[in-house]
Amino acid sequence: MNEWLTSTVGIAEVSHDNPANLSTSIARLLEISGNPLSVLGPGQSVLIKPDLTCSPGGPHLKILRALVYVVAQTGATVYVGDSPWLVSESVQSVWRDLDLADLMAGAGATLVSFEKAELAPRVAEASVLYLPALLGEADLIINLGRLRRDRLAVLAGTMYNTLGCIPGYKPGQFPPEYDSVTAFNAVVVDVFAAVAPSFNLLQVGDENRDTARGGGFALLAGDDAVALETVAAPMVGASPDSIPAIRLAAESGLGIAWPEAIRVVQMGQAGRRRHRPYAAVRANWLNRPFVTRPFYRLRNRRPSLNTSRCGGCGRCVEVCPNRALALPEVPGPVLFREQLCVMCWHCHAVCERQAVSLRPPGGVWSWVGGADSAIR
């Protein structure tokens, strides 16, 4: 096989018992991928785009801190930038909730808000997008994503993560015409092409969820995000062919989605442990435009709780991006402020007891999706 037809993806497993080896793992993954940091030095800059929908103190922040440390060793200036994901809050509120300012200052990085950033045009295919000027000024862009389930992306990874480069990005305010699999993922691919990250890291699995299983999380790395997600999808029980962004990006020539053309380099036992499968990782026929346009509100299902299954662990509260969920003062089922729900389905994705099902808004259709009782 010709070398130019291949992409390389490195995989490292990080145990929850030994997260301190993160910096070493990241440095090794960079070497496997040709060490893009080798061209950096004082006077140059690196922009890191993380996924700040993560939990406070969770593994993603540990990866981010370790990555900043490794990059800072080159002498380059390190920036960490993002836009607000929450509908009702600013990105500064997200930083405060995650204690990110102190964390990044200690690691040697400067936080940058894309919410009110100076903009510059970036070209993607036939589109011109106005994105933060820092994307064009940085000598290297590192895209640090998390693999997680999403209503329209099916699986959200590194390509989806670049949506946070849109100034003031708030997915709950996306207009109805984007509420279809094809239309939404076309936007994802366009933004990814415009951002054009130099290097990608993808977290697969969560040490908080997998601790009881004796595991941790996997870290995948490479300069080809399409190949990265093609390798990652089977690790959580999904077929790459079922992920719209992978297919659209490959068709646009943005990366390789053919497994036989991807060289996988595993560190130690990496890749041998199958991470917890994500339930219902597939596109749904309800995501077709002829359904979503006339029935937009009916199709947007909201969380519903089976109180007999809820153990009150609070995991759903931790991942709720808009603080729509809260633990009660006395032990019991979680409390839900429906007006703040952005229908991201994160609570449904992380509930290990399968206590959260989905229903469209409105009582008449509350039986759709197997809802047992609304969270009130």
H helices of 7-99, where? 22-32, 59-72, 91-98
| Token code pair at residue 36 | 């893009």
Reported as a single tens digit per residue, the pLDDT across 212-227 is 444 578 999 999 999 9
d(CA 163, CA 211): 30
| Token code pair at residue 152 | 């329209």
Any idea which architecture 294-359 has in CATH?
2-Layer Sandwich (3.30)
| Per-residue confidence (pLDDT) for residue 50, from 0 to 100 | 95
Same fold, 3-267 and 294-359: no
Kindly state the average pLDDT of the residues 132-146: 95
User: Do residues 309 and 347 lie in contact, with contact meaning Cβ atoms separated by under 8 Å?
Assistant: no
Name the band, by pLDDT with cuts 50, 70 and 90, for residue 330: confident
Name the band, by pLDDT with cuts 50, 70 and 90, for residue 268: low
341 alpha-carbon distance from chain centroid: 19
* pLDDT, averaged across the chain: 78
Amino acid letter, residue 336: F
| Per-residue confidence (pLDDT) for residue 353, from 0 to 100 | 80
CA angle, residues 198, 229, 188, in degrees to nearest 5 = 70
Location of structure tokens 């009702």: 88
Helix (H, G, I), strand (E, B) or coil at 368: coil
| Token code pair at residue 296 | 């937009």
Composition of the chain by helix, strand, coil, percent to 5: 40, 20, 40
Residues in Cβ contact with 35 at an 8 Å cutoff, skipping those fewer than 6 apart: none
- Strands 199-204 and 216-222 turn out to be antiparallel
Residues pairing with 374 in the sheet: 304
Reported as a single tens digit per residue, the pLDDT across 179-215 is 577 888 888 999 999 999 999 999 998 645 543 444 5
Residues pairing with 264 in the sheet: 9
Query: Tell me, which fold does domain 3-267 have in CATH?
Result: Rossmann fold (3.40.50)
| Token code pair at residue 211 | 């601790």
Reported as a single tens digit per residue, the pLDDT across 278-293 is 444 444 444 444 444 4
- Strands 109-113 and 127-132 turn out to be unpaired
The model scores a pTM over 0.85: no
| DSSP letters spanning 295-354 | THHHHS-EEEE-TTT-----HHHHH-TTS-EE--SSSSSPEE-GGG-----HHHHH-TT-
Report domain extents, the chain: 3-267, 294-359
Relative orientation angle of helices 181-195 and 244-251, to the nearest 10 degrees: 50
pLDDT at residue 301 above 90? no
- Please give the span between the terminal C-alpha atoms of the chain, in angstroms, as a whole number: 58
d(CA 73, CA 185): 36
Q: Can you count the helices (H) and strands (E) in the chain?
A: 14, 16
Kindly state the average pLDDT of the residues 314-338: 80
Reported as a single tens digit per residue, the pLDDT across 125-135 is 667 788 899 99
